[in-house]
């Protein structure tokens, strides 16, 4: 089975800090995604990547950036964390020729 691992389950950061959320997948998938999940809003796409060093903005990229230096790793960066970025962050991957996503277990980020 594909495994998508998010490095932290819970994070508490202060307003203004630079925050790194890490995601690693072990099945050589080309496509990787970062979503945030908020009650009543579902999952909203922040950024995605189709290949190493490629990135595309999703629906809510403001305040975020990403990095994909290696195929298996996709990092989400909060340049200057704010309280409205308190959320559950989900990483997902998908291989070529595969329809479905595989999600990680999520990182619950609290910005205080």
Partner 1 sequence: QQQVKQSPQSLIVQKGGISIINCAYENTAFDYFPWYQQFPGKGPALLIAIRPDVSEKKEGRFTISFNKSAKQFSLHIMDSQPGDSATYFCAASMWGNQFYFGTGTSLTVIP
Binding site for partner 1 (CB under 8 A): 4, 9, 33, 35, 40-45, 48, 58, 90, 92, 99-106
Closer residue to partner 1 (CB): 48 or 85: 48
Which long-range contacts (C-beta less than 8 Å, at least 24 apart) are formed by 40-44?
A: 43/90
Minimum distance of partner 1 from residue 65's CB (angstroms): 18
Closer residue to partner 1 (CB): 14 or 39: 39
Closer residue to partner 1 (CB): 6 or 82: 6
CB atoms inside a 10 Å sphere around CB 3: 11
Closer residue to partner 1 (CB): 14 or 99: 99
Q: What SS3 class is residue 20?
A: strand
Minimum distance of partner 1 from residue 19's CB (angstroms): 19
Q: What SS3 class is residue 47?
A: strand
Q: What SS3 class is residue 97?
A: coil
Tokens of 35: 């979503």
Minimum distance of partner 1 from residue 16's CB (angstroms): 28
Minimum distance of partner 1 from residue 69's CB (angstroms): 22
User: What are the distances in angstroms from CA 27 to CA 30, 36, 53, 65, 69?
Assistant: 9, 23, 18, 24, 16
């Amino acid at each position: 089975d594909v495994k998508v691992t998010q490095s932290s389950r819970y994070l508490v950061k202060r307003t203004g800090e630079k925050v790194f959320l890490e995601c690693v997948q072990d099945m050589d998938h080309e496509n990787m995604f970062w979503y945030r999940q908020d009650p009543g809003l579902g999952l909203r796409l922040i950024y995605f990547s189709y290949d190493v060093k490629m990135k595309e903005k999703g629906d809510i990229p403001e305040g975020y950036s990403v990095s994909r230096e290696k195929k298996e790793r996709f990092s989400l960066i909060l340049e200057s964390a704010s309280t409205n970025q308190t959320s559950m962050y989900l990483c997902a991957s998908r291989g070529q020729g595969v329809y479905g996503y595989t999600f990680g277990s999520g990182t619950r980020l609290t910005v205080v």
